[in-house]
Structure 1
Amino acid sequence: MARHRIQGPDGATWTVRRRWLPWRRPISLREMLHSPSAPSGGAGDVPPDDEASEPGLVLQVLQLTVGVALWLAIGAGKLILYTLAVVLVLVIWLLDTGLQLVVLPIMLIARVAGLARWPVQIEREYKHIRTDYADGFGAAESLREDLSAQVAAGLIIAPPA
């Protein structure tokens, strides 16, 4: 089994696993999908102004024209911004994946030869808590079992957010 999922004493889901990749990504897609969003501070409704007079037809047409032009400009800007963001994320992802494909065989050979240590990672509800290291593949399995038992017993706690 590649990973252990443990229910902590507080009801949170913990994951203890041996990592094969040489480094942990600073932000993963899984963390982004499972991260809570910030509460929105909704603005209250503005009370209607009793003394407001109706604008003339020329002013209404001018406001409509400016509004549509702004809407189109903002929409085009958003489209360009979103396209650039997607392209940037894809380029970074491709570079990271290519680098990991190059480094992974080297790290596996180093770990099997005993030149590098095996990382065992602990996560709580998809958030990285800590990483411990073991000297061999079997030692990493034992460490994973021990850490899983400690998590289930409530001996490992998550730092405050």
Structure 2
Amino acid sequence: MKKILSITLMMLAFAAGTSAQQLEKLFEKYMEDERFNYVYQKKPGMVERLNDAGSPDLWVFEKSNASLGRRMLTLNGGEKSLEESFTREVETALKADKYEQVSIVRNGKNRVETYEKITDQGIAKVNFIKNPGNIMVTLNLYAQKK
């Protein structure tokens, strides 16, 4: 009985660990796919941070957190079936990684969803932009400044 319980606990811990990085795996899966544009920036410079800081609230957030980098994956003008499957993959990864949706902006068929997850290491913010013919996912990682 103890063996079954310990095996079950090990399987649960393994399952939790494997699903915790689904969004990261999605970036790795498509980063070399020529149908996608991929951007990785280890530490955004001041210009990028100022561009991100369009609102004073975000500027305050940026000053209180150290950026750990950003990633961006864009599907430009893909087939409708690829757009739909990629959208499902992103939504599944966000759920598996337990991101919380914090905002939605919709303008006609264009939609921007923002997600956030707070961990021991810091804060992860995701923007999921769904426009007809153009799907984009950005991942920004921040560590709390001490």
Highest RCO, 1 vs 2 (Cα 8 Å, sep ≥ 6) = 1
Higher helix share: 1
Compute the TM-score of the two structures, normalised by the length of structure 1.
0.22
